[in-house]
Amino acid sequence: MIKLVDLLKEDKGEKYPPYMFSKDGFGCHVCEYYYLKDNKHYCRNEEYENYMGTNELVDKYGNQIENPSQWCSNWFHPKNK
């Protein structure tokens, strides 16, 4: 089991900070990479696209995400305001 102390000691130079550091909560709707086009939800993050094989926000079965406020990927990055 990983201890919280060990997690806190990890490299702080992460490319994508964990969602818990977003003052707006988390979900694709408050992510820097999120955008909406033609009533579909998308992610601008190239690593997400490479991993999922698409830039559309889809679940593991390839179904389009309907509510981005109830969805979050490993590539979440809080929006800059």
**Tally of structural domains, the chain:** 1
Does residue 64 belong to any structural domain of this protein? yes
17 inside domain:
no
pLDDT of residue 20: 45
pLDDT in tens, 5-58: 555 555 555 554 444 455 566 788 888 899 999 999 999 999 999 989 999 999
With respect to residue 69, please indicate whether it lies within any of the assigned structural domains.
yes
Does a structural domain hold residue 68?
yes
- Please report whether residue 59 resides in a domain: yes
3-state helix, strand and coil shares in percent for the chain, rounded to the nearest 5: 25, 15, 55
Q: Does residue 12 belong to any structural domain of this protein?
A: no
Higher pLDDT, 56 or 74: 56
pLDDT recorded at residue 29: 86
Hey, what amino acid is at 52?
M
